[in-house]
């Protein structure tokens, strides 16, 4: 099938060519007819052909980390796409499918390099235009990729943090505890684990409502963040339960820091506007350390939990340490 020169003259990469130059390369192109919704190629496929839209429309999309897709470009009459596969002999970087019934021209890799050999001046003009257009696309893609990086970071943060407080969640804590215990074992330095429960939290929710409970949770995180060091890891374990990892920290130091948090929390009148049985926000906590009280993660958690239980049994609003 003969490709009309008048159409080729409207194609963006041929804008520097004279009509006779376009005529000399028109026979290198093949034609493709694709139906609406038809996939021309998928991301990761091998590629050896550049395409030009003669009529219709084609979209380009990439896979997202969550398994979905996002459209990054749309090509209409006169636009080209798929050029990187013939330059780099690389897999397709995106999936292309037709938005509607479309007619395409194709330039195979072997014909592209034949053009370079037989018509070097023409090829130089085409590649110059192609380079300029591709550079602009890459700039646009760079902005998109920057957005993708931010999106990916936001998604990662959502996966490992508590939605209400922004503190780490249980998933992150479980992984961090294993890795920090391994670091402590290899370095010979201590690792302290603190388990925390807010006192009478059920009564707060039942008497004052869940909004009051949320305020107590947020205030607790705020107070912890004021006292914890940069290396410490605070996680909301669930409900009114919190856990703190303190790397390279002896139990005495962990006990001291946690008790400062407890005392500070009691100074905040977060419940003063409510009338009911619970007048002050307070917390109970248990401290255990590796290797002083345990030689593995399971035992460390058990010892901290037992210390927390003793703090509650001792009257609440206090911090207890394993082994004491």
Residue 137 maps to which CATH number?
Answer: 2.60.120.10
Residues 292 and 218 in one domain: yes
> Do both 198 and 308 map to the same domain?
yes
Whether the per-residue pLDDT at 58 is higher than 80: the answer is yes
Instruction: State the average pLDDT over residues 140-156.
Output: 54
Residue 154: predicted pLDDT: 56
The phi, psi pair for 16, rounded to 5°, reads -95, 0
Q: Are 289 and 304 in contact (CB under 8 A)?
A: no
Cβ neighbours around 297 below 10 Å, total = 17
Q: Is there a single domain that holds both residue 273 and residue 317?
A: yes
Residue 102 pLDDT greater than 90, yes or no: yes
Domain that holds residue 295: 170-321
Q: How far apart are CA 291 and CA 98, in angstroms?
A: 63
Measured CA to CA in angstroms, residue 302 lies from 53, 69, 250 at distances of: 66, 45, 18
Same structural domain, 218 and 114: no
State whether 122 and 201 are in the same domain. no
* 209 in the same domain as 82: no
Counting residues of the chain whose pLDDT is more than 70, the rounded percentage is: 91
CA proximity to 78, closest of 21, 24, 129: 129
How far apart are alpha carbons 221 and 297 in whole angstroms?
A: 24
Q: Please state, for a pLDDT cut of 90, what percent of the chain lies above it.
A: 56
Quick one: 118 and 254 in the same domain? no
Q: Which of 315, 263, 286, 292 is nearest to 195 (CA)?
A: 286
Q: How confident is the model at residue 136 (pLDDT cuts 50, 70, 90)?
A: confident
Q: Are residues 252 and 225 in the same domain?
A: yes
Structure letter (DSSP) for residue 161: B
Classify strands 241-247 and 191-198 as parallel, antiparallel or unpaired: antiparallel
How many structural domains compose the chain? 2
> What is the model's pLDDT at position 210?
92
Same domain, 267 and 135: no
Residue 250 has pLDDT above 70, yes or no: yes
Query: Strands of 39-41's sheet, edge to edge?
Result: 39-41, 95-98, 57-63, 69-76
Q: Do the domain assignments include residue 266?
A: yes
For 12, which DSSP code?
G
pLDDT higher at 70 or 179 = 179
**Bigger pLDDT: 159 vs 132:** 132
Query: Cα separations (Å) of 5 from 10, 21, 60, 116, 133?
Result: 9, 10, 27, 20, 21
Residue 140's pLDDT is: 62
What is the gyration radius of the CA atoms in the chain, in angstroms?
Answer: 32
Q: How far apart are CA 113 and CA 123, in angstroms?
A: 9
Q: What is the pLDDT of residues 284-303, one digit of tens each?
A: 999 999 999 999 999 999 99
How far apart are the C-alpha atoms of 195 and 308, rounded to whole Å? 7
Looking at residue 263, its pLDDT comes to 95
**Where is pLDDT greater, at 246 or 175?**
246
Each residue's pLDDT tens digit, 192-242: 999 999 999 999 999 999 999 999 999 999 999 999 999 999 999 889 999
Mark 142-167 as b/e (b = at least 16 C-beta within 10 Å).
eeeeeebeeeeeeeeeeeebbeebeb
State whether 180 and 228 are in the same domain: yes
- Decide if 64 contacts 104 (C-beta within 8 A): no
For residue 313, what are the CA distances in angstroms to 281, 302, 318? 18, 16, 10
Instruction: Please say whether the beta carbons of 192 and 246 come within 8 A.
Output: yes
Domain containing residue 303: CATH number: 3.30.70.270
Same domain, 249 and 139: no
Coil/strand/helix, residue 98: strand
- pLDDT exceeds cutoff 90 at 32: yes
The verdict on 96 and 191 lying in the same domain is no
**Which one has a higher pLDDT value, 320 or 71?**
320
Predicted pLDDT at 200? 93
Asked whether residue 163 is domain-assigned, the answer is no
Between these two residues, 278 and 3, which has the higher pLDDT value? 278
Closest CA to 55 of 5, 6, 7: 7
Structure tokens given for 300: 């460390």
Q: For residue 57, what pLDDT is reported?
A: 95
Tell me if 165 sits within 8 A of 224, measured CB to CB.
Answer: no
């Amino acid at each position: 099938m003969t490709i009309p020169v008048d159409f080729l003259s409207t194609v963006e990469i041929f804008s520097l060519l004279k009509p006779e130059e376009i005529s000399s390369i028109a026979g290198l192109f093949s034609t493709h007819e694709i139906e609406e919704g038809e996939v021309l190629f998928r991301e990761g496929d091998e590629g050896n052909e550049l395409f030009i839209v003669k009529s219709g429309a084609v979209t380009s999309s990439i896979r997202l980390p969550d398994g979905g897709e996002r459209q990054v470009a749309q090509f209409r009459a006169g636009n080209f796409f798929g050029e990187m596969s013939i330059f780099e002999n690389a897999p397709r970087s995106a999936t292309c499918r037709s938005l509607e019934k479309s007619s395409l021209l194709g330039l195979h890799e072997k014909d592209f390099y034949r053009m370079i050999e037989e018509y070097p001046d023409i090829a130089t003009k085409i590649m110059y235009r192609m380079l300029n257009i591709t550079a602009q696309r890459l700039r646009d893609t760079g902005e998109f990729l920057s957005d993708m990086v931010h999106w990916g970071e936001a998604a990662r943060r959502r996966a490992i943090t508590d939605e209400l407080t922004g503190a780490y969640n249980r998933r992150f804590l479980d992984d961090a505890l294993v890795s920090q215990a391994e670091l402590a074992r290899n370095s010979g330095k201590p690792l302290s684990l603190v388990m925390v429960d807010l006192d009478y939290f059920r009564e707060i929710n039942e008497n004052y409502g869940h909004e009051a409970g949320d305020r107590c949770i947020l205030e607790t995180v705020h107070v912890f963040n004021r006292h914890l060091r940069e290396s410490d890891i605070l996680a909301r374990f669930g409900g009114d339960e919190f856990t703190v990892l303190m790397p390279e920290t002896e139990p005495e130091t962990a006990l001291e820091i946690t008790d400062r948090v407890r005392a500070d929390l009691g100074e905040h009148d977060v419940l003063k506007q409510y009338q009911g049985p619970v007048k002050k926000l307070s917390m109970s906590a248990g401290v255990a350390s590796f290797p002083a009280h345990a030689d593995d993660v399971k035992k460390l958690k058990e010892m901290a939990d037992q210390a927390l239980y003793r703090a509650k049994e001792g009257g609440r609003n206090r911090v207890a340490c394993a082994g004491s």
